[in-house]
Amino acid sequence: MLTEINFDGIIGPSHNYAGLSLGNIASANNAGSVSEPRAAALQGVAKMRANIALGLAQGFFMPLDRPNTGWLQSLATDVASAEPHLRAASFSASSMWAANAATVSPAPDTADGRCHLTVANLMTMPHRSHEWTGTLAQLKLAFADERHFVVHGPVPAPFGDEGAANHMRLCERHDSTGVEIFVYGKAGGPFPARQHVEAGKAIARRHGLAADRTLFIQQSETAIAAGAFHNDVVAVANESVLFTHEQAFEDRDGAYAAVRAAFPAVQIVEVPASAVSLADAIKSYLFNAQLVTLPDGGQALVLPSESQEVPAVWQWLEAMVAGNGPIRRLVPVNVRQSMANGGGPACLRLRLVADPATVDPRFIATPGKLDAIEQVIAAHWPERIAPGDLADPALAETVRAARRALLDALDLSALA
């Protein structure tokens, strides 16, 4: 049976705060801080466990091999002699944000009736530009059944693609035909627009999407300039609900009209700027939440606990769930280590509609597997990493050994 599965990226043992992501306010504000990889990874596992307790299907992806010595070699350097910014980029644990792993079109939307995934090229940011090869290998393993899945390589340069973080889907039910929305940027003041419209168009063609059920909507330049480096910082969709900030799209009225024309059943839940400013929305990551359908058919927001700490945000949310709208439950979660690097609950997961039985079972979470993951993390993940530690050869070996231990525990040594 087709169902939505959320695949979370396990936060890797090299998680650190090097401040590499231009346009990501949290990343910049916490650059140079001491990270806590062990706590970060355990917070991520706790979120997965909480989602299972809600009755949701849950999967996971492995951290990538770090430091990426092959990438450094292609730049004619190595970990010991690389300039600090390149060394930091080679250690980046940003693949934990699985929303940037790929863009996914489920079988009901595609011409051949299979689920299509296009791995994101992430070419805009150097520290993420070398992720796609490792991510592609993992996607090909997890979704190897060609009767049900097609896994595509990246869209070529110069068209930047940052995956599902800039993609939304509206449908009556997850297993029904939907309308896919590709959000792209053109400019963002001092910050780059990371998603190119041509990347979205290429993915739509690859996936065999119907033109009348495919939209291309421009992200607000104001939102990008304020720190909404991906659409999922200011908007999220689930089934028939579009939950969005008033300033998410460049042409708000035109965007809403296009969505209503393509999917008349849409329920647009808009947060007005007069109630929640863009600054507060980005500070709280209120939209970087998992908008999910619970087993009883109701919808809930799995959102960062930081949302409770911004009065305007929490007051608006409490009023929303007290009303008669489609979103009826708030589920705060603690992912503070990820949040400090600019990634909330939605960043940490890639949504995929499929029959769980068609996915490689090694990537499907169960309470027992999460217990095993927690044990490996507690035993092998570094407790703390300061930026200067990246130059220590011992840290590189610790990080590699930790990942190997996790792969061995989950019978995924093929990814070593």
| 194 annotated binding-site participant | yes
Residue located via tokens 């999910």: 292
- Rounded to an integer, what distance in angstroms lies between the CA atom of residue 137 and that of residue 131? 10
25 marked as binding residue? yes
Q: How many CB atoms lie within 10 A of CB 134?
A: 20
Segment holding 27, helix H or strand E: helix 25-29
105 is in an annotated binding site: no
400 assigned binding-site residue: no
Q: Binding site annotation covers 14?
A: no
Q: Which residues contact 3 (CB under 8 A, 6 or more apart)?
A: 57, 174, 175, 353, 354, 355, 356
Catalytic residue among 116, 180, 306, 347: 347
In 3D space, the residue among 102, 214, 195 whose CA is nearest the CA of residue 152 turns out to be: 102
Judge whether 20 is annotated as a binding position. Answer: yes
- Of 4, 162, 239, 250, the catalytic one is 162
Residue 254 annotated as lining a ligand binding site: no
Catalytic residue, chosen from 230, 239, 250, 380, is 230
Peptide bond into 67 cis (omega under 30): yes
d(CA 58, CA 10): 12
Q: Is 115 in the active site?
A: no
The answer to whether 413 is a known ligand-binding residue is: no
Catalytic site residue 116?
Answer: no
What backbone torsions phi and psi does residue 134 show, to the nearest 5 degrees?
Answer: -70, -40
Check the annotation: does 26 bind a ligand: yes
124: Cβ contacts below 8 Å, ≥ 6 apart = 160, 162, 192, 194
232 annotated as a binding-site residue: yes
Strand-pair category, 235-238 with 241-245: antiparallel
264-267, long-range: CB within 8 Å, 24+ apart, which pairs? 265/172, 265/240, 266/170, 266/240, 266/241, 266/242, 267/240, 267/241, 267/242, 267/325, 267/326
In the block, residue with structure tokens 């509206």 = 170
Q: Which amino acid is at 318?
A: E
Give catalytic status of residue 230 as yes or no: yes
23 annotated ligand binder: yes
Q: What are phi and psi of 227, to 5 degrees?
A: 115, 10
d(CA 132, CA 346): 19
What amino acid is encoded at 27 in this protein? S
Q: What is the C-alpha to C-alpha distance for residues 230 and 228, in angstroms, rounded to an integer? A: 5
- Strand blocks (E) in 141-186: 149-152, 167-171, 178-184
Return all residues near 324 (Cβ < 8 A) that are at least 6 apart.
Answer: none
Q: Report how far residue 122's alpha carbon sits from residue 92's, in angstroms, rounded to the nearest whole number.
A: 13
19 is an annotated ligand-binding site residue: yes
Q: Which residues are annotated as a binding site for substrate?
A: 18-27, 100, 127-128, 194, 232, 341
Residues contributing to the annotated binding site: 18-27, 100, 127-128, 194, 232, 341
Residues with active-site annotation: 162, 230, 347
